Homo-oligomer: A and B are copies of this chain.
Amino acid sequence: MRVLIIGAAGMIGRKLAERLARDGRLAGREISELTLVDSLEGPGITVADVSEPELVEARPDVIFDLAAVLSGEAEADFDVGYRVNVDGTRSLFEAVRAAEYRPRVVFSSSIAVFGPPLPGTIGDDHASTPATSYGTQKAIAELLLSDYSRRGFLDGVGIRLPTICVRPGAPNRAASSFFSSIVREPLNGKEAVLPVPETVRHWFASPRAAVGFLVRAAELDSPALGERRSITMPGVSATVGEQIAALRAVAGDEAVRRIRREPDETIMRIVSGWPGRFDTRRAHELGFRAETSFEEIVRVYVEDELAA
């Protein structure tokens, strides 16, 4: 079993590579070759563009396509977002099609394909009406993945990742950064800024759960997928208030006191259009599993990032 990870230098890509190296197996078969590719340098990484047809020359059995220009950059630079997230993805699919061997392609999509107006709980049949260029690009790539799968050019599974929380590392300028910061920074003895009210609700899964989704997507039987190749992943629906309560349960009042409230209208406006809760029946039927409480998400961060 040859495995290719495109976008392997990112946080999820690195964690996936570590897990696969540790397991030594994927979808019940031994991994004979694990190739890590990214446009950025990193340990063990081959630097290449996602659209280079050479990537599939070794005919990997499973291709994880995690490469993307992220939300903020795709909104700031319209052309770069389309070039990487749409044209780059399509070039990869075309390279696979040209190689004529139908590998499993696991594509990381996002709940950003959903935009307002949204119901309180979003079901598996809900329309993709993205409110950002990033979400639009992911929705387009999902459509391509389905059509290329239907035509027999590849065997695709698209997984719509929740907001990943708690992200390790430093706060960044993404509008969603605070969802992780308000847990991570206090746990590390640092102050965090909370720009929105505690009533804001969102949809979360841990980095460990995200890696689990990718592995599950690689091993799923195609017939179980049926006509629809992209699936919203399970997660935990939590308000910011519930996030803080979970932090308190794990690390006490002292940690919670490190959260400083500093309302930011711009972030509030962006975040208010984001989904709060999903009914992910299909994902559950297909064996995808996430955490079941935000406290569990906090404990996963402590175990995976702080325990060592």
A interface residues with partner B (beta carbon < 8 Å): 78, 115-117, 119, 124-131, 133, 136, 139-140, 143-144, 146-147, 150-151, 226-228
Tell me if B78 and A117 are in contact (CB < 8 A): no
Are the CB atoms of B147 and A143 closer together than 8 Å?
no
**A140-B143, A146-B136, A147-B136 known; A129 vs B228 contact (CB < 8 Å):** yes
Question: Which B residues touch A228, using CB under 8 A?
Answer: 129
Q: Which 6 A-B pairs rank lowest in CB-CB distance, beginning with the nearest?
A: A136-B147, A125-B127, A136-B143, A140-B140, A127-B127, A139-B143
Contacts of A139 on B, CB cut-off 8 Å?
Answer: 143
CB distance from A114 to the nearest CB of B (A): 10
CA gap between A244 and B137 in the complex, in Å: 44
- Is the pair B146, A129 in contact by a Cβ cutoff of 8 Å? yes
Q: How far is the CB of A142 from chain B (nearest CB, A)?
A: 9
Which of the residues B117, B119, B136, B226 comes within 8 Å of A144, measured between beta carbons?
B136
- Cα–Cα distance between A157 and B131 once the two chains are bound (Å): 16
Quote the shortest CB–CB distance from A87 to chain B (angstroms): 10
Residue on B nearest A151 in the bound complex, by CB: B78
The answer to whether B129 and A126 have CB atoms under 8 Å apart is no
B128 contacts A127, CB within 8 Å? yes
With both chains docked as a complex, state the minimum distance between the C-beta of A100 and any C-beta of chain B, in angstroms. Answer: 14
Query: What are 13 contact pairs spanning A and B, CB under 8 A?
Result: A78-B151, A115-B227, A117-B226, A119-B125, A124-B127, A127-B128, A128-B128, A129-B227, A130-B143, A130-B146, A136-B144, A136-B146, A140-B144
Cβ contact within 8 Å between B143 and A131 = no
Determine the residue in chain B with the shortest Cβ distance to A118.
Answer: B125
* Chain B residue with the shortest CB-CB distance to A136: B147
Output the least CB separation between A285 and chain B (Å): 14
- Residue on B nearest A81 in the bound complex, by CB: B147
Distance A146 CA – B136 CA, assembled complex (angstroms): 9
Rounded to whole angstroms, the CA-CA distance of A139 and B151 in the bound complex is 17
* Residue of chain B at shortest CB distance from A131: B227
Chain B residues lying within 8 Å of A133, measured Cβ to Cβ, are: 147, 151
Q: With a 10 A CB-CB cut-off, give which of A124, A129, A143 has the most chain B CB atoms.
A: A143
Determine the chain B residues whose CB is within 8 A of the CB of A227 once the complex forms: 115-117, 129, 131
